[in-house]
Structure 1
Amino acid sequence: MNTMNDVEVIINNKRYTLSGYESGDYLQKIASYINTKHTEFKLMENFNKLDVDMRNILMQINIADDYFKAVNQVNEMDQEADMRGNELFDLKHEVIAAQTKLEALQKEYGKLQNEYNEAQKIIIKLQTELEDSKMK
């Protein structure tokens, strides 16, 4: 069973204790992400003129937007991976079919090679018999 981790972080210049089953590094990463968002918004010209509630709502909307974009990106990547998996499956079947055809052609070639060799032996035998009959 996982243990609960308590990690002190600083978010927007205030100290907080985050608790969770995730690692302390992960919780610090979350705090860092939120601090980055605060920094981005503070650099916007009119952000500091807004009241605290509006700033918090804008921050929440922006984080939710990042979340949904990431979810969409993951879904698109999953779909692409599925599509590539299907393509790979089809290609493997094409390779197997080509290998099967190659093996059949190699067997046919072997049979034809044997027939050719037998025909060559017959030709040599007939040529020898012809030359022997001419000498008589």
Structure 2
Amino acid sequence: MAVKNTTQVLIGGKIITLSGYESEEYLQKVANYMNSKLTELSQIPGYSRQAQETRHTLLSLNIADDYFKAKRQAEMFEEDLEAKDREMYDLKHDLINGQVELERAKKEAEENARQVQTLRDKIAELEKELEELLN
């Protein structure tokens, strides 16, 4: 069973105690993300004049926007990975078919070479018989 971690973080100038099953480093990373979003929003003209509730709503909307953009990007990566997996499957299938065809062609070439040699031997034998008949 995972161990629950508790750590203090600084968000928006206030010390907050966070706890969860994630590592302390992860919890600090989340706090740093929140601080960067707060800094980003505070640079927007008029943001600091908004009511606290409005600022919280804007912060939540920005975080939700980041979440949905990241989720869409992850979905696109998944789709790309699936397409590459299908392409790799098709390429492997083509490779196997090519190997089977190559083996078939090699066997056919060997059989043709045997037939050519048999025919050459027959020609040599017939030429020898013809020479004997002519002598």
Q: Secondary structure, in 3 states, of the residue corresponding to 2:3? A: coil
Gap runs ≥5 in structure 2:
none
Q: Secondary structure, in 3 states, of the residue corresponding to 2:45? A: coil
Aligned pairs, how many? Answer: 135
- Superposed displacement of residue 39, structure 1: 0.8
Match for 1:42: what amino acid? S
**Distance (whole Å) between structure 2 residues aligned to residue 34 and residue 74 of structure 1:** 21
Structure-2-length-normalised TM-score: 0.93
RMSD over equivalenced CA pairs, Å: 1.3
Match for 2:88: what amino acid? L
Q: Deviations over 1:76-107 (max 9, x none)?
A: 11111112111211121111111111111111
Report the counterpart of residue 100 of structure 2 in structure 1: 100
Report the counterpart of residue 38 of structure 2 in structure 1: 38
Gap runs ≥5 in structure 1:
none
Report the counterpart of residue 91 of structure 1 in structure 2: 91
Report the counterpart of residue 4 of structure 2 in structure 1: 4
Q: Secondary structure, in 3 states, of the residue corresponding to 1:19? A: strand
Q: Deviations over 1:96-123 (max 9, x none)?
A: 1111111111111110011111112222
Q: How does 1:1-136 map to 2 (within 5 A)?
A: 1-134=1-134, 136=135
Match for 1:40: what amino acid? E
- Superposed displacement of residue 132, structure 1: 4.1
**Distance (whole Å) between structure 2 residues aligned to residue 46 and residue 130 of structure 1:** 112
**Distance (whole Å) between structure 2 residues aligned to residue 58 and residue 77 of structure 1:** 28
**Distance (whole Å) between structure 2 residues aligned to residue 16 and residue 50 of structure 1:** 23
Q: Deviations over 1:45-85 (max 9, x none)?
A: 11111111111100000001100111111111111111211
